[in-house]
Amino acid sequence: MSEANIVTSNEQPAQLGRQLPVTAPAVDIYENETEILLHADMPGVVKEDIAINIDNGKMTLSGCRRLSSTGAAAWRELAEVEFRRTFAVPQSIDINKVHAELKDGVLRLHLPKSEAAKPRQIEITAG
Protein backbone atom coordinates (compact mmCIF):
# COMPACT_ATOMS: atom_id res chain seq x y z
CA MET A 1 0.00 0.00 0.00
CA SER A 2 1.06 3.61 -0.43
CA GLU A 3 1.13 6.50 2.02
CA ALA A 4 -2.65 6.39 2.65
CA ASN A 5 -2.40 3.24 4.76
CA ILE A 6 -5.36 2.11 6.81
CA VAL A 7 -4.06 1.03 10.20
CA THR A 8 -5.82 -2.03 11.55
CA SER A 9 -6.63 -2.96 15.10
CA ASN A 10 -8.15 -6.09 16.56
CA GLU A 11 -9.61 -4.39 19.61
CA GLN A 12 -12.09 -6.62 21.38
CA PRO A 13 -14.13 -5.11 24.21
CA ALA A 14 -14.79 -7.05 27.37
CA GLN A 15 -17.65 -9.52 27.09
CA LEU A 16 -20.69 -8.59 29.16
CA GLY A 17 -23.45 -11.00 30.08
CA ARG A 18 -24.74 -13.11 27.18
CA GLN A 19 -23.21 -11.18 24.29
CA LEU A 20 -22.06 -12.94 21.16
CA PRO A 21 -18.39 -13.90 20.92
CA VAL A 22 -16.45 -11.25 18.97
CA THR A 23 -13.99 -12.08 16.22
CA ALA A 24 -12.11 -9.93 13.70
CA PRO A 25 -13.14 -10.56 10.08
CA ALA A 26 -10.41 -11.34 7.55
CA VAL A 27 -9.79 -8.21 5.47
CA ASP A 28 -8.05 -7.40 2.17
CA ILE A 29 -7.28 -3.74 1.42
CA TYR A 30 -6.52 -2.39 -2.05
CA GLU A 31 -5.63 1.13 -3.12
CA ASN A 32 -5.63 2.86 -6.48
CA GLU A 33 -5.55 6.50 -7.59
CA THR A 34 -9.21 7.16 -6.79
CA GLU A 35 -10.11 5.03 -3.76
CA ILE A 36 -9.22 2.57 -1.05
CA LEU A 37 -11.23 -0.64 -1.38
CA LEU A 38 -11.70 -2.86 1.64
CA HIS A 39 -13.04 -6.43 1.43
CA ALA A 40 -14.18 -7.90 4.77
CA ASP A 41 -15.14 -11.58 5.03
CA MET A 42 -18.43 -11.82 6.96
CA PRO A 43 -19.97 -15.20 6.11
CA GLY A 44 -23.59 -15.66 7.10
CA VAL A 45 -24.16 -11.98 7.93
CA VAL A 46 -27.10 -10.21 6.29
CA LYS A 47 -26.87 -6.53 5.36
CA GLU A 48 -29.43 -5.52 7.99
CA ASP A 49 -27.04 -6.80 10.68
CA ILE A 50 -24.01 -4.81 9.49
CA ALA A 51 -22.99 -1.42 10.87
CA ILE A 52 -20.23 0.82 9.50
CA ASN A 53 -19.33 3.83 11.63
CA ILE A 54 -16.78 6.48 10.76
CA ASP A 55 -16.03 8.99 13.49
CA ASN A 56 -13.03 11.09 14.46
CA GLY A 57 -10.59 9.29 12.14
CA LYS A 58 -11.71 5.78 13.09
CA MET A 59 -13.90 3.38 11.17
CA THR A 60 -15.56 0.42 12.88
CA LEU A 61 -17.13 -2.45 10.95
CA SER A 62 -19.43 -4.81 12.79
CA GLY A 63 -21.85 -7.50 11.77
CA CYS A 64 -23.67 -10.30 13.59
CA ARG A 65 -24.14 -13.79 12.21
CA ARG A 66 -27.32 -15.24 13.67
CA LEU A 67 -28.23 -18.86 13.11
CA SER A 68 -31.64 -20.43 13.36
CA SER A 69 -32.10 -24.08 14.22
CA THR A 70 -35.05 -26.30 13.45
CA GLY A 71 -34.24 -29.16 15.78
CA ALA A 72 -31.71 -30.66 18.15
CA ALA A 73 -28.14 -30.30 16.90
CA ALA A 74 -26.42 -33.61 16.19
CA TRP A 75 -23.17 -31.83 15.35
CA ARG A 76 -22.43 -28.14 15.54
CA GLU A 77 -19.35 -26.26 14.34
CA LEU A 78 -20.93 -22.96 13.28
CA ALA A 79 -21.95 -20.51 15.98
CA GLU A 80 -23.50 -17.10 16.28
CA VAL A 81 -20.76 -14.51 16.29
CA GLU A 82 -20.15 -10.79 16.01
CA PHE A 83 -17.51 -9.75 13.50
CA ARG A 84 -15.90 -6.46 14.53
CA ARG A 85 -12.80 -4.59 13.39
CA THR A 86 -11.56 -1.02 13.78
CA PHE A 87 -9.37 0.93 11.36
CA ALA A 88 -7.73 4.34 11.38
CA VAL A 89 -9.06 6.18 8.32
CA PRO A 90 -6.75 8.59 6.45
CA GLN A 91 -7.89 12.21 6.24
CA SER A 92 -7.62 11.96 2.45
CA ILE A 93 -10.90 9.97 2.34
CA ASP A 94 -14.07 11.77 1.24
CA ILE A 95 -16.36 10.45 3.99
CA ASN A 96 -19.52 11.76 2.30
CA LYS A 97 -18.94 9.47 -0.71
CA VAL A 98 -18.17 6.21 1.15
CA HIS A 99 -20.41 3.33 0.06
CA ALA A 100 -20.63 -0.40 0.66
CA GLU A 101 -22.15 -3.53 -0.83
CA LEU A 102 -22.53 -7.08 0.50
CA LYS A 103 -22.26 -10.04 -1.88
CA ASP A 104 -21.57 -13.71 -1.16
CA GLY A 105 -20.59 -13.02 2.45
CA VAL A 106 -18.02 -10.35 1.52
CA LEU A 107 -18.52 -6.71 2.47
CA ARG A 108 -16.97 -4.42 -0.15
CA LEU A 109 -16.37 -0.97 1.24
CA HIS A 110 -15.40 1.83 -1.17
CA LEU A 111 -13.52 4.72 0.43
CA PRO A 112 -13.10 7.39 -2.29
CA LYS A 113 -10.19 9.79 -2.01
CA SER A 114 -10.92 13.49 -1.89
CA GLU A 115 -10.00 15.50 -4.98
CA ALA A 116 -7.08 17.12 -3.13
CA ALA A 117 -5.58 13.70 -2.36
CA LYS A 118 -5.76 12.35 -5.92
CA PRO A 119 -2.57 12.51 -7.99
CA ARG A 120 -2.70 14.92 -10.88
CA GLN A 121 -0.52 15.79 -13.81
CA ILE A 122 0.77 19.39 -13.91
CA GLU A 123 0.94 20.83 -17.39
CA ILE A 124 4.02 22.92 -18.18
CA THR A 125 3.52 25.90 -20.46
CA ALA A 126 6.18 27.72 -22.45
CA GLY A 127 6.91 31.20 -21.13
Q: Where are the domains of the chain?
A: 18-115
Q: Is the pLDDT at 117 greater than 70, yes or no?
A: no
Beta-ladder partners of 37: 30, 110
Please tell me the chain's helix, strand, coil percentages from 3-state DSSP, rounded to the nearest 5: 5, 40, 50
The stretch 101-107 carries a mean pLDDT of 96
- 109 versus 125: the higher-pLDDT residue is 109
Please tell me the distance from the alpha carbon of residue 11 to that of residue 37, in angstroms, as a whole number: 21
Q: Could you please state the CATH topology (level 3) that the domain comprising 18-115 is classified under.
A: Immunoglobulin-like (2.60.40)
pLDDT for res 99: 95
pLDDT for res 14: 42
Q: Is the pLDDT at 4 greater than 70, yes or no?
A: no
